[in-house]
Amino acid sequence: MKAPPFTLHRPATVDEAAGLLAALADEGALVLAGGQSLVPMMALRLAYPPDLIDINGIAGLDRIELSGDHLAIGALARHHDFRRSVVPGPFGALLARISHEIAHYPIRTRGTFCGSLAHADPASEWCLTAATLGAEMVLRSQAGERAVPVADWFEGAMATVREPEELLVEVRLSRPAEGSAWGFYEFNRRAGDFAIGAALAGYRLEGGAMRDVHVGIGAIEEVPRRLGEVEAALEGQPPGPEAFRTAARIAAGAVEPLEDFATPADYRRDLAVTAIERALAEAALAQPGQRGMAA
């Protein structure tokens, strides 16, 4: 249970980190952010990077800032930084609510938002959040900078389109629509364990009908995503338990669930339906006028 030997690099700037990645990524160098996924993978000998590029000494990467239509989240913003609202209002409250579901307290103090997007675990709450709200990943290399929309980001479980020599410097998380309200539901066997299934859902009310409906699922499939079929069934309808149940049931036929030794695919298929229904119910409670997470 000890990591294999490696050489540690401690760049002081993003440019320096990009230079190190350009020189060493081909031989398997990896970025070390919070280390809360990478260090255990090295201890379990699932990863053998000959070089680690520790970005923790780069000043300014911990910023979390509202800017126009998005929240800019730097590569060193930790899960724990979201525990209290980072922006006033329901957007911040939603992120705080979700952050408490990620791992355990002493893991949240180090693990990073961007590290979660780079690692792309199917059960990652931040990956689900990015997929559902919309996000752009800002990548930096010596060749320059590019931004990848979340719809193009994931390639599979723990795989993204990031090139090995690219540093994920920032995630731009879209601000939810004015007046929208959100709900989140996650199931696991012990608080802090990876989710077995999760859903994030939101909409706003216009003349009693649901508009801008967003329904995303995580931990169910290899990659978190919005479920267009479920959203379409809700769009324009009045909210309520019947509408939620009918729409959520569509998910059962729409998902291709992951399977593992403890959890058969059918279990996750059922869980997707339940998680969506409960996330929608929470969103209904949070509508403006109610106490909760309305934007």
Ligand X SMILES: Cc1cc2nc3c(=O)[nH]c(=O)nc-3n(C[C@H](O)[C@H](O)[C@H](O)COP(=O)(O)OP(=O)(O)OC[C@H]3O[C@@H](n4cnc5c(N)ncnc54)[C@H](O)[C@@H]3O)c2cc1C
Candidates 113-121, 242-250, 257-265, 273-281; binding stretch for ligand X (CB under 6 A): 113-121
**Binding to other proteins, residues 79-108 (CB under 8 A):** 80, 100, 103-107
- Residue 51 C-beta: closest distance to other proteins, Å: 10
Would you list the DSSP string of the chain? --PPP-EEE--SSHHHHHHHHHHHGGGT-EEESS-TTHHHHHHTTS---SEEEEGGG-TTTT-EEEETTEEEEETT-BGGGGSS-SSSSHHHHHHHHHHTTSS-HHHHTT-BHHHHHHH--TT-HHHHHHHHH-EEEEEEETTEEEEEEGGGTEEETTEES--TT-EEEEEEEEPPPTT-EEEEEEE-SSTTSPPSEEEEEEEEEETTEEEEEEEEEESSSSS-EE-HHHHHHHTTSPPSHHHHHHHHHHHHHH-----BTTB-HHHHHHHHHHHHHHHHHHHHHTSBTBSS-B-
**Strand 225-226 and strand 209-218: pairing?**
antiparallel
Please give the Cα distance from 8 to 33 (Å, whole number).
13
**Binding to other proteins, residues 125-184 (CB under 8 A):** none
Under the binding rule (CB under 6 A), the answer on residue 116 touching ligand X is yes
Q: x/- string (CB under 6 A) for ligand X, residues 166-185?
A: -xx-----------------
Under the binding rule (CB under 8 A), the answer on residue 28 touching other proteins is no
Under the binding rule (CB under 6 A), the answer on residue 34 touching ligand X is yes
**Binding to other proteins, residues 34-63 (CB under 8 A):** 35-36, 39-40, 42-44, 52, 54, 56
- Residue 228 C-beta: closest distance to ligand X, Å: 24
258 is written with which tokens? 């992951």
Under the binding rule (CB under 8 A), the answer on residue 267 touching other proteins is no
Among 14, 24, 94, 102, binds ligand X (CB under 6 A): 102
- Residue 34 C-beta: closest distance to ligand X, Å: 3
- Residue 150 C-beta: closest distance to ligand X, Å: 15
Q: x/- string (CB under 6 A) for ligand X, residues 220-259?
A: ----------------------------------------
Under the binding rule (CB under 6 A), the answer on residue 119 touching ligand X is yes
Under the binding rule (CB under 8 A), the answer on residue 119 touching other proteins is no
Q: Contact 185/163 with Cβ under 8 angstroms? A: no
- Residue 141 C-beta: closest distance to other proteins, Å: 24
Under the binding rule (CB under 6 A), the answer on residue 125 touching ligand X is yes
Please give the Cα distance from 278 to 272 (Å, whole number).
10
Q: Name the residues that contact other proteins, by CB under 8 A.
A: 1-8, 35-36, 39-40, 42-44, 52, 54, 56, 80, 100, 103-107, 109-110, 190-192
What is the binding site for ligand X (CB under 6 A)? 30-38, 40, 75, 102-103, 107, 111-112, 114-116, 118-119, 121, 123-125, 167-168, 194
